[in-house]
Structure 1
Amino acid sequence: MGLIESIIKILLVNLILSGDNAVVITLASRRLSDHLKKVAVIWEILRAIVRMLFVFIVLYLLKLPFIHLIGGILLLIVAYKLLEDKQGE
């Protein structure tokens, strides 16, 4: 799978989730005043844009060499600490 196809798939999933969140924000803000509804919608739009930016940042980071190795090592450290806490109880 190419990079472009991966980006398109991630963006489509992100758009679907953003649409779902927009519906939830709309339902949650339906009893607010008109001014507060506009503020809620603006914040939701800004949040969706920031989420899209994070997608591109993560895609860039995943192309860095050894990032998967570093991430795996960090996950092992976290898993070890979680197991160590369980055994202490």
Structure 2
Amino acid sequence: MLNLILSGDNAVVIALATRKLGSNKRNQAIIIGTAGAVILRIILMLVAIQLLAIPLVKVVGSVLLFYIAYDLVKPNSDTEIDKVKSGNTYAW
């Protein structure tokens, strides 16, 4: 299921990145982008499998995830939302 979600996300990014290219170059870019996404996903999955074989990596990862989850849900009086400026374009 996670793979389907990530694939959909990649398809959207590739489509946005290639929307202004000509037809021939767009097809090339879509093929290269899709192949790159699949190859990188396979390589990173193999790296993750090797890392999870190291003792205590799962424990350290679990502790870090709990810390991140707590940090996201804890009440925070010093919010950054007031500092965000809104804009009317997508330009940086």
Residues 1:69 and 2:63 aligned together = no
The one-letter code matched in structure 2 to 1:65 is P
Structure 1 unmatched runs, 5+: 1-12
Cα gap change, 1:46 to 1:87, in 2 (>3 Å)? closer
In structure 2, the residue corresponding to 1:65 is in which secondary structure? Answer: coil
What corresponds to 2:43 in structure 1? 53
Deviating beyond 6 angstroms after TM superposition, the runs of 4 or more aligned structure 1 residues are none
Show CA shifts across 1:67-88 (max 9, x none).
111011101211221222x353
Structure 2 unmatched runs, 5+: 80-92
Show CA shifts across 1:28-49 (max 9, x none).
57xx512221121111111110
Work out the number of aligned pairs and report it: 68
Larger RCO (CA within 8 A; separation ≥ 6): 1
